[in-house]
Amino acid sequence: MFTTKASGYFALATILLVLGLLLQDWQLVALVLPVASLFFLSNVWGLPERVKVRLSHQVIPSDSFGDEDIRVRIEISNETNGNLSNVEVHELVPDTIKIEKGAARIRAQLKLLEKLEVQLGFPSPIRGHYPVGPVVVRARDPFELYLVEAKAESEVLSIMPRPERIRGAELRPRHLGPWPGIIPARTLGSGTEFYSMRGYVAGDDLKRINWKASARHRRLITNETEAERVTDVMIVLDTDVTFYESAEAELFERGVRAAASLASLLLRQGNRVGMILQGEERGIAAPAFGKRHERNILYLLAAAKPGRAVIPTDYAVALLAKLLLPARAQIVIITSLMDNTIVAGIRGLVTAGYSVLVLSPSPGVPVRFESESEELAYRMLMLERANTLFSLEKICSVSQWPVGIPLSVVLSKVRRLRPMIRV
């Protein structure tokens, strides 16, 4: 195609012609000759008529936990029947990415059938999804009067939160799946915990014979164990932390890390795990098993951003839980509890028979307050949060996660809520 510059030169030539005619001046008309010759030579010599360029780009790795450098490899091969003297390669990268190796815009010459491989590198950005590309290759003649463009679509670089290795919490949902897992099922079956004893039956494993009991009863007695099964868990990450602007980012990132770590742990244990992001931007990963699903959940978490929820959290969670989870399954809600409207929603879930665990990252105390009223506001906010916690502790398991304490320690202290006996 011809460029805007070519149109400009054409306009200049036309003006010269008209002026020459009006003023009856052949010298002005003669100035059209170089312009016309320039067009002719650029068209014929500058750029081959058919330009064929094969183009590809690849982000390596395309998803990462943010602890390695990222490279973008661009390959261009000239499949034109001639040299390309003026090739511009432009990789569009987001402004937040600072290229440390190479450059996003490259100019080069490509000889006949030459293959050019260029790379650019940058340190891993913070958690999120980043579109890299599209990469555009423009082949032009030396005067840039003619242009041929090729484009390769953009790829997405995902920086996911790294799940921490944590120990499990004591989850005791009433719904259990048929497959073996680690959650005691309150029925006989293969497991590790003692459940009861019975008389030996031919075919029983000799290792399970309780020799002391056998001696006492003068017949062989076998130990029975409690079955351990998997369950369905829905992790809800409440991304609405906007009540606490001063430490919003830190509080939010802890929530994301906790969600990633819990999802990873529960999936490793063989459970069916789903994820709900609830806030300004919402996202859902329906419950599923396996490593691939862990990747899906981490991919979803990579896109999580803090923001004020448009739909009330209690409403969204109750609706999605009923749609995606079997009755009496486990729900883990990760929330900073800055908004007390969530209590009603959790009460509704508990009433519906779901086992609910609330993990609440505690906000840190600001280093200093800008004014006395800000300090007062902070104290009131914390008081309200304490009230919310108190209300929740009556209806479900609640675990506070203070700053600086490992998540494993917090989760190991989670105990099932004992139902109150009313007399």
Which residues of the shown chain bind other proteins in the complex (CB under 8 A)? 1-4, 6-7, 9-10, 12-19, 21, 23-43, 45-46, 49, 85-86, 99-109, 116, 118-121, 142-147
Smallest separation, CB 305 to other proteins (Å): 24
356 DSSP β-pair partners: 331
* Least Å from the CB of residue 117 to other proteins: 10
Task: Decide whether 15 or 386 has the Cβ nearer to other proteins.
Answer: 15
Does the N-terminal peptide bond of residue 61 adopt cis geometry, omega within 30 degrees of 0?
Answer: yes
- Name which of 360, 352, 367, 373 is nearest 407 in CA terms: 360
- Work out how close the CB of 97 gets to other proteins at its nearest, in angstroms, rounded to a whole number: 14
CA angle 372, 376, 382 (to 5 degrees): 145
In whole angstroms, how close is the CB of 27 to other proteins at the nearest point?
A: 5
Pair of tokens at residue 115: 């293959």
Report the alpha-carbon distance of residue 40 to residue 91 in Å, rounded: 32
Residue 311 and residue 345: Cα distance in Å, rounded?
A: 12
Bridge partner residues of 391 (DSSP): none
Query: For residue 120, what are the contacts with CB-CB under 8 A and spacing of at least 6?
Result: 71, 72, 74, 91, 93, 99, 101, 102, 103, 104
Is 95 or 245 the residue whose CB approaches other proteins more closely?
95
Give 118 or 382: the residue with its C-beta nearer to other proteins.
118
Q: Which is nearer to other proteins, 40 or 194 (CB)?
A: 40
DSSP assignment string, 263-282: HHHHHHTT-EEEEEEESSS-
Nearer of residues 103 and 319 to other proteins, judged by Cβ: 103
- Strands (E) in 20-97, as ranges, are 53-60, 63-64, 70-78, 84-91
Q: How far is the CB of 120 from other proteins (least distance, A)?
A: 7
Q: Token match 């059209």: residue?
A: 32
Q: How far is CA 100 from CA 108, 122, 366, in A?
A: 20, 5, 35
Our CA angle for 298, 304, 307, nearest 5°, is 160
CA 22 to each of CA 15, 16, 25, 121: distance values in angstroms, whole numbers, following the listed order: 10, 10, 8, 59
- Closest distance between other proteins and the C-beta of residue 328, in Å? 52
Return the number of the residue (32 or 197) whose C-beta is nearest other proteins: 32
Nearest to 253 by CA among 160, 320, 136: 160
Shortest Cβ distance from residue 88 to other proteins (Å)?
A: 9
Nearer to other proteins, 108 or 197 (CB): 108
Query: With respect to other proteins, which residue has the nearer C-beta, 115 or 167?
Result: 115
- Find the shortest distance in angstroms from Cβ 154 to other proteins: 14
Cβ-based neighbours of 285, under 8 Å, separated by 6 or more? 274, 275, 293, 296, 297, 300
State in angstroms the smallest separation of the CB of 67 from other proteins: 20
Question: Is the Cβ of residue 37 or residue 56 nearer to other proteins in the bound state?
Answer: 37
> Is residue 367 exposed (0-12), middle (13-18) or buried (19+ Cβ within 10 Å)?
exposed
In the complex, what is the shortest distance from the CB of residue 1 to other proteins, in angstroms, rounded to a whole number? 4
The angle formed by the CA atoms of residues 24, 27 and 33, to the nearest 5 degrees, is 115
**Complex with other proteins: residue 17 or 182, whichever CB lies closer:** 17
